[in-house]
Structure 1
């Protein structure tokens, strides 16, 4: 069976995250510049191989001061580590439309395995005849596992920035 290549549709995709701030509210953000692709055998996604890269300097949270801090050596160190990457190692079907995506996330000079829950939206043709697919992925990582250790203690106890990062990823791909 022939290999099918799927390219990201960035206009209909989002790489989002949430982190606790001051122990009680979430701050959301995303990466604005990224690329992703999938390779499958025909239209069989059980064989899917995912490849993703994002520019760390494209992080945005809606606050320029916070974004600049995140890009600094305290966090992503975007100058020294301009990209984060993900390469899948498996895509396992759990039930109809539900998968577990496992792969290696490289960030800040560290590579670790992560597992994401994926909702597979199936295949559909858009109004222009292009075959598309959509996936929603969620998961959690501990930022300290990748050396993103900066924090500040609060007078009332606890810390300014949570360690757990919740990932919320919406991806749309076009068959190419």
Structure 2
């Protein structure tokens, strides 16, 4: 009996050591997650867009933020800058080369907590066949029960990447060497 109680206690303690898993709300019927980008156009304005198709999960518990993790896969052919001809060019081998590299992926490797709502997500971004470590400055928007009986958590984050770091060599001029990624993620707890 004593062994059974010890085994049950160990099982319960180990179950509490894990974070809850959330699925990113990317459903086409009511998506509440966005991966947006912007890059300067000639240094005079911003060209903005987004990726329409992506999926992912994150593991998170509010009191164990440093133990959280994120994994997201992006369909690079879903790039959308609100201009069909430009999108065709962005999908070409001048930029994303979506025929050769149809997916981009981010996998976190570390979470650095700044305070209860601010943190930095360090991880590997694979884009255009190149994997580089990036840092996402993130903050928690909120969490709680939804009207449908589920539980949700939402976060936002930004990062800046250099095109050349991902072997995208197209010269867009000195003002357009970096892309800012803006991430707005809402997850539904499994």
What TM-score comes out, normalization by structure 1 length? 0.91
Counterpart in the other structure of 1:92: 112
Equivalenced residues, count: 170
Aligned twin of 2:181: 167
Shift in Å at residue 23 of structure 1? Answer: 1.9
Contact 1:21 1:160 in 2 (8 A): no
* Matching residue within 156, 161, 167 for 1:147: 167
* Deviation, structure 1 residue 22: 1.5
**In the alignment, structure 1 residue 68 sits paired with structure 2 residue 82:** no
Higher helix share: 2
Which whole-Å CA distance do the structure 2 matches of 1:103 and 1:123 have between them? 23
Alignment root-mean-square deviation, CA: 1.7
Q: CA deviation at 1:160?
A: 8.0
User: Residue 56 of structure 1 aligns with which residue?
Assistant: 76
**Counterpart-to-counterpart distance in 1, 2:60 and 2:85:** 41
1:118 aligns with 2:134: no
Q: CA distance change for structure 1 residues 44 and 80 in 2, over 3 Å: closer, same or farther? A: same
What residue ranges of structure 2 are gaps of 5+ in the alignment?
1-13
Where relative contact order (Cα < 8 A, 6+ residues apart) is larger, the structure is: 1
Pairwise mapping of residues 6-45 of structure 1 onto structure 2 (< 5 A)?
Answer: 6-10=22-26, 11-40=31-60, 44-45=64-65
Structure 1 6/88 Cα, relative in aligned 2: closer, same or farther at 3 Å?
same
Q: Which protein is bigger by CA-based radius of gyration?
A: 2
Structure with bigger strand share is 1
| TM-score (normalised: structure 2) | 0.85
SS of 1:129 mapped into structure 2: coil
Q: Which runs of 5+ in 1 are unaligned?
A: 153-158
Aligned-residue offset at 1:42 = 8.5
